[in-house]
Amino acid sequence: MKLQIYGSGCEKCKSLAANAEAAAQALGVSFEMEKVTDMNAIIDAGVMRTPALAVDGKVIIQGKVASADEVRALLE
């Protein structure tokens, strides 16, 4: 599973990354984490509000810091 965090690298982006990592670990799935900070790549992915989380290239969260439980529910 590939998890991508889209954003500038701010505290909200870091929190979303940590929550996504915790959710994937709680589910026991193997994953790769990528942090995308390039504005052109963010726009190309269709992200309009950051932070955002994509799973295997599909954006599932935009514009908020989802809790680990919220992310886990989306990954299940």
In this prediction, residue 58 has a pLDDT band, given cuts at 50, 70 and 90, of very high
Helix (H, G, I), strand (E, B) or coil at 33: strand
pLDDT digits (tens, 9 = 90+) for 22-38: 999 999 999 999 999 99
Q: Is-catalytic flag, 10?
A: yes
Considering the candidates 1, 10, 26, 33, report the single residue annotated as catalytic. Answer: 10
Q: Give the predicted TM-score (pTM) of the model.
A: 0.93
Q: Is-catalytic flag, 16?
A: no
CATH fold, domain 2-75, is Glutaredoxin (3.40.30)
In this prediction, residue 19 has a pLDDT band, given cuts at 50, 70 and 90, of very high
Domain ranges of the chain: 2-75
What are the CA-CA distances from residue 23 to residues 4, 18, 64, 69 (Å)? 14, 9, 16, 7
Considering the candidates 3, 5, 13, 55, report the single residue annotated as catalytic. Answer: 13
